[in-house]
Structure 1
Amino acid sequence: MAPDFLAISPNNKIPAIVDPNGPGGKRVSVFESGAILLYLGEKTGKFLPAPLIERIPVYEWLMWQMGGFGPMPGQVHHFIALENEQDRAYGLKRFMAETRRLYGVLDRRLAACEFVAGALSVADFAILGWAWRHERHKVDLADFPNVQRWYDAMMARPAVKRGMEAKLD
């Protein structure tokens, strides 16, 4: 654990950002995906609506992603990599079923609106961070037509395309 990184991310995990031009022009560090998305939404005024009534679904769907749609597919990733077939089979059965259930929740929500909180928001970007791995989750988006529509729309966004093409160090 590098002390410099621990000062930014006490959990010693990514993501973490440093904004040299934070509030009041001061340097600020932010760790955890949801906190980073909310910070950037607040700072830029983009993808986070100002009226509280419009923020509520953004908060709900962002927390849904943080509490379920990230951890459950993450468990699928873990169990796919196991070599012990008995452990692997148990974990995949359990977490793939829950992952598919979550795709169903998302599909029902997207049947009622274009984006998860109505307008495009940080919640959509958080969910996309896992949905783009649907093939690894062994999920065919054809089974979830509203997720497929949303996914195609998200992936067609120029900034998303640039992000997906970015080379990471």
Structure 2
Amino acid sequence: MTDLSAFPITRKWPAQHPDRIQLYSLPTPNGVKASIMLEETGLPYEPHRVAFDSQDQMSPEFLSLNPNNKIPAILDPHGPGGKPLPLFESGAILIYLAEKSGKFIPQDAAGRYQAMQWVMFQMGGIGPMFGQVGFFHKFAGKDYEDKRPRDRYVAESRRLLGVLERHLEGKAWILGDDYGIADIATFPWVRNLVGFYGAGELVGFSDFPNVKRVLDAFVARPAVQRGLQIPAAPAA
């Protein structure tokens, strides 16, 4: 049996199945990228809930795996060369899991780079901008009378949705006919923008029918439906 005791994170979240990928996460738009990918690939894994309300992400154990105190993070007991691999940053995790499984990323070099460019597009644009809209629309930003910051992020979010809208014309998924990590990176954030953040009307989501069409197809996937609930909330 694999020994993960050298990793301090396993002291706070003991591995019941140390031969499986250990996932440390929460069902946020970034967190579910990892759980959806794991569900889609079928790679064996064990989820651990990193509770923000108890500041788990700031614990020494979690920081030993991700010094940036963000979810998700993974610990793969069977990483490259057969050695355990700790990894953080959701985009890096998606690429790693795609390469490990040989799934959801093109096998040709040009296609792989195209997939990565759209993952980076999400990481650098969609995630940060949609997150700011959420702050100013749903959370503490409501306390600011000056709406210029909110409107700045709304305008940029509309621009990014427009990029997606035009790109998705005539396509089933971001890379065309094949579903993959670009979609898994992107659509949890689109779902959150119009769902949890309730900003659909604010950003004029009805102006982006291609984005809505692909979002609906994404959410309909059984692995996505499972991944959106992982790690599960504790029983009441």
TM-score normalised according to structure 2 size: 0.66
Q: Which residue of 2 aligns with 1:157?
A: 221
SS in 2 for 1:39: helix
Could you tell me which runs of 5 or more consecutive residues in structure 2 were left unpaired when the two chains were aligned. Answer: 1-57
Deviates further, 139-148 or 44-53:
139-148
Equivalent residue runs for 1:15-164 within 5 Å: 15-80=72-137, 81=139, 82-87=141-146, 89-118=147-176, 119-135=178-194, 136=197, 138-139=199-200, 140-164=204-228
Cα distance between partner residues in 2 of 1:36 and 1:151: 22
TM-aligned CA deviation for residue 83 of structure 1: 4.3
Q: Which residue of 1 aligns with 2:40?
A: none
SS in 2 for 1:36: helix
TM-score normalised according to structure 1 size: 0.91
SS in 1 for 2:215: helix
Identity, in percent, stands at 48
Cα distance between partner residues in 2 of 1:117 and 1:155: 17
Change (3 A) 1:10 1:103: same
Q: Deviations over 1:79-115 (max 9, x none)?
A: 122243324x222111011111111110101004221
Cα distance between partner residues in 1 of 2:181 and 2:144: 38
Bigger Cα Rg: 2
Contact 2:167 2:174 in 1 (8 A): yes
Q: Which residue of 1 aligns with 2:68?
A: 11
Contact 2:134 2:193 in 1 (8 A): no
CA RMSD of aligned residues (A): 1.7
Could you tell me which runs of 5 or more consecutive residues in structure 1 were left unpaired when the two chains were aligned. Answer: none
SS in 2 for 1:133: helix
Cα distance between partner residues in 2 of 1:65 and 1:165: 21
Which has the larger share of helix?
A: 1
Deviates further, 75-84 or 45-54:
75-84
Contact 2:134 2:199 in 1 (8 A): no
Deviates further, 64-73 or 22-31:
22-31
Aligned positions, number = 168
